[in-house]
């Protein structure tokens, strides 16, 4: 896609059974506000990567609820061409750490201490 087009993005995920994708938080926020989100079949998604900027804990919780438990965080930089930090989908729910009482955990680049 040469430019962000969320209607086309949703159509392509459903039509081709996309399993893995990436969007920065600003586009995820726009996707959450898109009228076609609720009627689009996203069951094929196994991993929905986000990164390149911090994500709002409230909007991440909304994405986990509305898109599904497939959200995965990554960060990288030009000196590290791939990713340098990863938070896989299962760790968004690991031992119940993602709750409203501890939103600061999403602001760290470290493994949570249990």
Predicted pLDDT at 75: 77
Q: Please report the sign of the dihedral spanned by the C-alpha atoms of residue 59, residue 61, residue 64, residue 69.
A: positive
Predicted pLDDT at 91: 74
Cβ-based neighbours of 62, under 8 Å, separated by 6 or more: 32
Predicted pLDDT at 20: 96
The per-residue pLDDT string of the chain (114 residues; one tens digit each, 9 = 90 and over) reads 788 999 999 999 999 999 999 999 999 999 999 999 999 999 999 999 998 888 999 999 999 999 999 999 887 666 666 666 777 777 776 655 455 544 455 555 555 555
Give the CA count within 13 Å in the CB-facing half-sphere of 17.
Answer: 0
Tokens of 58: 């409230």
Cβ-based neighbours of 63, under 8 Å, separated by 6 or more: 28, 32, 48, 50, 71
């Amino acid at each position: 896609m040469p430019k962000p087009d969320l209607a086309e993005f949703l159509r392509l995920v459903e039509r081709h059974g996309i399993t893995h994708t990436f969007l920065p938080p600003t586009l995820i926020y726009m996707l959450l506000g898109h009228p076609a989100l609720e009627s689009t079949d996203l069951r094929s998604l196994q991993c929905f990567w986000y990164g390149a900027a911090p994500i709002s804990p409230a909007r991440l919780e909304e994405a986990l609820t509305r898109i599904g438990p497939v959200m995965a965080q990554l960060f990288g930089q030009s000196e590290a061409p791939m990713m340098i930090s990863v938070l896989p989908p299962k760790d968004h729910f690991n031992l119940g750490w993602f709750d409203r009482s501890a939103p600061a955990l999403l602001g760290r680049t470290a493994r949570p201490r249990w």
